[in-house]
């Protein structure tokens, strides 16, 4: 699924460049709307899975913001996006005279707070609330809250709804109340990972593999957001820390914004406003060198990272040893148990080949119902990832199957899955090999193992990386059988199944043509397919698959 691409040749480089990129590098409107509509569901699943193990308890609150929590009189605090209570319970433990309103739009998160061993309704009021929609003043008296804490919560809100949240908390804040804020900053390692994964919703806003979303804040955006909604900037710091795991030789650059915002007071002099404006224009009115001087000046070891250490190591590109999950898949009379990387880690793991994609499930079901597609043939699967489900199904009726991927981690897990799901004689017919598209050594090694070429080449969700399209077709061209003497339905074929993402169909067809591949059929068709359609014969007459899998497409090529 995630090929490591090697430049094909100097000759190919010199050829006229094809336009492979689509017009947008963001998710389609369908997916943007889906992630917005189902945001609560994804966070419910998140807290059901993680419980209270993802974030560490925030014992740094006293060190960073103790002056705001202490002082004469009882302090009333609102924790927006309370999660499992990692802010709530350190506060009630450290400060005997605080009362905390804790809200979250995840029911599972609020239940975790209510069932915590330190929960007491005399100190904590926990309730389900979406502060971008639900009126906080219906749960909390107007102008009664001294401090609002927003720690890694605003980043989960779509940018267009952030002003709604700020206007809502203003209703319950006292006239001189403040917001204590900590959240992801632009340039954080997690953002750099997501940039490479085709998961961008909008500028600095991404969706993770588990469906939860994260916004990464620039100083200018953040200060403008709060000032436009009636807050002054009291403190603003960019915090940077390198988290090192020496045993695994990992260095992770974490970046976050830490700030204090206070409700604007119209009677204040303009002096403070001007000072805030200077902060607001960091990077514009000041030089980059001057802006860098505003980074929080503390020893590195004094900065606490909220994410639990064990989780942080695994989520930034390392395959966890005990945190895979098993997907059970029934195809016909077969039940496959496929081990993949847990969804908890998929959104920041470097390899996209460690999961089971919908297109692979779909194509495997097609092969199960239509074994004649591969029966008696030699089959090659490109970029099959760790699942290899299409290859395993094909092994039941094909003469020979090569399951390949360019990612060594995916290949290791693929080999394990094949051995745990297949038995002889099917196991004897399936060979796993590493194949980086365009890699001459890898291609020649496969040619030596099968000199006659392959009758069927399969690829599921292998067309989403723009730079990989030319090497994909070049590799397929070199490995497909040259036998063209058979009937139309039995000619060597390249079959691609995918959801269109960053690379559109015209770009794929242009690249295919460059290497001599001709599109002879596709599904679904824009118009009614002819009775001679190859792919039409794969589906039931009632066409139910068309309805259920409308986002998926199949392209069928002859060489």
Contact yes or no for 186/255 (Cβ under 8 A) = yes
Pick the CATH number of 29-315 from 3.60.9.10, 3.40.50.1970, 3.40.50.150, 2.60.120.260: 3.40.50.150
Question: At CB < 8 A and 24+ separation, what contacts does 122-130 make?
Answer: 123/92, 123/98, 123/99, 124/88, 124/92, 124/99, 124/100, 125/99, 125/100, 125/101, 126/82, 126/88, 126/102, 127/101, 127/102, 127/103, 128/103, 128/104, 129/103, 129/104, 129/105, 130/40, 130/105
How does pLDDT run across 61-112, given as a tens digit for each residue?
988 999 999 877 889 999 999 999 999 999 999 998 899 999 999 999 999 9
Contacts of 447 (CB under 8 A, 6+ apart): 478, 479
> What architecture (CATH level 2) is domain 353-558?
3-Layer(aba) Sandwich (3.40)
Q: State if pTM tops 0.75.
A: no
| Residue for token pair 């070199």 | 478
CA 510 – CA 523 distance, rounded (Å): 18
Domain ranges of the chain: 29-315, 353-558
CA Rg value for the chain = 28
The pLDDT score that the predictor gives to residue 278 is 37
Backbone angles phi, psi at 182, to 5 degrees: -145, 135
The pLDDT score that the predictor gives to residue 304 is 62
The pLDDT score that the predictor gives to residue 20 is 31
The pLDDT score that the predictor gives to residue 122 is 95
CA 380 – CA 398 distance, rounded (Å): 10
CA 341 – CA 379 distance, rounded (Å): 26
Per-residue model confidence as pLDDT tens for the chain (559 residues): 444 344 334 344 443 333 333 334 678 788 889 899 999 998 988 888 878 777 788 888 988 999 999 877 889 999 999 999 999 999 999 998 899 999 999 999 999 999 999 999 999 999 999 999 999 999 999 999 999 999 999 999 999 999 999 999 999 999 999 999 999 999 888 887 777 666 889 999 999 877 889 999 999 999 999 999 999 999 999 988 776 655 545 566 788 999 999 998 763 433 344 333 433 433 333 333 333 334 344 434 455 666 544 444 434 444 444 457 888 999 989 999 988 876 555 544 555 667 788 899 999 999 999 999 999 999 999 999 989 999 999 999 999 999 999 988 889 899 999 999 999 999 999 999 999 999 999 999 999 999 999 999 999 999 988 889 999 999 999 999 987 666 666 799 999 998 887 788 999 999 999 999 999 999 887 655 555 689 988 987 644 444 344 578 999 999 9
How does pLDDT run across 6-62, given as a tens digit for each residue?
433 434 444 333 333 333 467 878 888 989 999 999 898 888 887 877 778 888 898
Backbone angles phi, psi at 280, to 5 degrees: -60, -25
The CA-CA-CA angle for residues 288, 291, 294, to 5°, reads 155
SS3 for 79-104, per residue?
EECCCCCCCHHHHHHHCCCEEEEEEE
Look up residue 286 and give its DSSP letter: S
CA 55 – CA 127 distance, rounded (Å): 20
Q: Strand 456-460 relative to strand 493-498: parallel, antiparallel, unpaired?
A: parallel
CA 206 to each of CA 48, 64, 194, 498: distance values in angstroms, whole numbers, following the listed order: 22, 29, 7, 21
Equal fold, 29-315 vs 353-558: yes
Residue 535, classified by CB atoms within 10 Å of its CB into exposed (0-12), middle (13-18) or buried (19+), is: buried
CA 344 – CA 325 distance, rounded (Å): 10
């Amino acid at each position: 699924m995630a090929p490591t691409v090697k430049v094909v040749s100097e000759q190919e480089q010199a050829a006229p460049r094809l336009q492979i990129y689509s017009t947008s590098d963001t998710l389609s409107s369908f997916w943007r709307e889906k992630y917005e509509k189902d945001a609560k569901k994804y966070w419910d699943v998140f807290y059901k899975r993680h419980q209270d193990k993802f974030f560490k308890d925030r014992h740094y609150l006293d060190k960073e913001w103790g002056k705001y929590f202490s002082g004469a009189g009882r302090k009333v605090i609102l924790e927006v996006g309370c999660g499992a209570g990692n802010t709530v319970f350190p506060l009630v433990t450290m400060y005997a005279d605080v009362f905390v309103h804790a809200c979250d739009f995840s029911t599972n998160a609020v239940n975790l707070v209510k069932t915590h061993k330190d929960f007491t309704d005399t100190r904590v009021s926990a309730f389900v609330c979406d502060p971008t929609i639900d009126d906080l003043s219906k749960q909390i008296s107007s102008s009664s809250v001294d401090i609002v804490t927003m720690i890694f919560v605003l980043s989960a809100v779509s940018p267009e709804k952030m002003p709604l949240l700020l206007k809502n908390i203003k209703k319950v804040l006292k006239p001189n109340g403040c917001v204590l804020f900590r959240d992801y900053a632009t340039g954080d390692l997690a953002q750099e990972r997501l940039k490479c994964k085709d998961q961008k919703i909008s500028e600095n806003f991404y969706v993770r593999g588990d469906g939860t979303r994260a916004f990464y804040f620039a100083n200018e955006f953040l200060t403008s957001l709060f000032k436009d909604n009636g807050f002054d900037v009291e403190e603003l710091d960019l915090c940077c820390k390198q988290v090192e795991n020496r045993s695994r030789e990992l260095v992770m650059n974490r970046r976050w914004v830490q700030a204090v915002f206070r409700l604007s007071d119209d009677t204040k002099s303009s002096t403070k406003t001007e000072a805030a404006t200077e902060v607001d224009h960091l990077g514009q009115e000041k030089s980059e060198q001057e802006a860098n001087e505003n980074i929080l000046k503390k020893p590195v070891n004094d900065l606490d990272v909220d994410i639990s250490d064990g989780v942080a190591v695994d989520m930034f590109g390392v395959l966890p040893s005990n945190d895979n999950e098993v997907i059970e898949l029934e195809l016909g009379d077969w039940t496959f148990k496929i081990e993949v990387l847990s969804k908890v880690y998929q959104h920041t793991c470097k390899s996209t080949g460690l999961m089971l994609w919908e297109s692979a499930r779909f194509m495997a079901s097609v092969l199960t119902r239509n074994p004649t597609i591969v029966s008696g043939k030699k089959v090659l699967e490109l970029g099959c990832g760790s699942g290899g489900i299409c290859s395993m199904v094909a092994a039941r009726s094909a003469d020979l199957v090569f399951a390949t991927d360019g990612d060594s981690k995916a290949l290791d897990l693929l080999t394990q899955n094949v051995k745990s799901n297949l038995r002889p004689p099917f196991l004897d017919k399936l060979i796993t090999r590493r194949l980086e598209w365009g890699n001459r050594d890898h291609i020649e090694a496969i040619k030596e193992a099968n000199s006659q070429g392959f009758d069927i080449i399969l690829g599921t969700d292998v067309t989403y990386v723009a730079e990989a399209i030319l090497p994909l077709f070049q590799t397929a061209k070199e490995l497909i059988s040259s036998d063209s003497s058979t009937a139309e339905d039995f000619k060597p074929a390249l079959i691609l199944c995918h959801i269109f993402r960053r690379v559109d169909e015209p770009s794929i067809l242009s690249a295919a043509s460059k290497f001599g591949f001709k599109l002879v059929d596709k599904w679904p068709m824009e118009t009614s397919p002819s009775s001679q359609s190859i792919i039409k014969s794969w589906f039931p007459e009632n066409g139910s698959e068309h309805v259920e899998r409308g986002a998926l497409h199949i392209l069928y090529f002859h060489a």
